[in-house]
Amino acid sequence: MEPIQKDKVQTIIESFANREVFLHIETTDGSYAVLRGERSISVGAFVRNVPIRFERGSIAGEGPYRVGLKLAHGWVYAEGLTDWEAGEQTRLLLAGHDHEGRLSVAFQLSATPFSHGKEEEQ
């Protein structure tokens, strides 16, 4: 992954608009605190392979960034994004890493479903 290039990411987001794509969102903030023994509640969210269709999408901020997608009946967004990787206009992977390089948030779009893990790749 490399640092987000806002204009390039915006172009790829727009290429996914108005067609069915698969969404993956994951947050992991609280788990690191628990592993270090801090007294805080572990919080997180995980959504994988949800088919969505969005009308418009945008990336905003000066870094870390936020991405929002306008759906027919609401919004989906993620913030704290720092890095990206694209797969030939068929997949957009965005991630937010903390100051120690640990993953805090993932926001991914794909024209095809994401694999479910190592057993599916074999």
Per-residue pLDDT of the chain (122 residues; tens, 9 = 90+): 999 999 999 999 999 999 999 999 999 865 555 555 666 667 788 899 999 999 999 999 998 999 999 999 999 999 999 999 987 668 999 999 988 888 899 999 999 998 875 444 43
Look up residue 115 and give its DSSP letter.
P
pLDDT attached to residue 117? 59
pLDDT attached to residue 2? 94
Look up residue 61 and give its DSSP letter.
S
pLDDT attached to residue 111? 93
3-class SS string, 8-39? HHHHHHHHHCCCCEEEEEEECHHHHHHHCCCC
pLDDT attached to residue 122? 36
Closest listed residue to residue 80, CA positions, set 92, 91, 66 = 66
Other Cβ atoms closer than 10 A to 6: 16
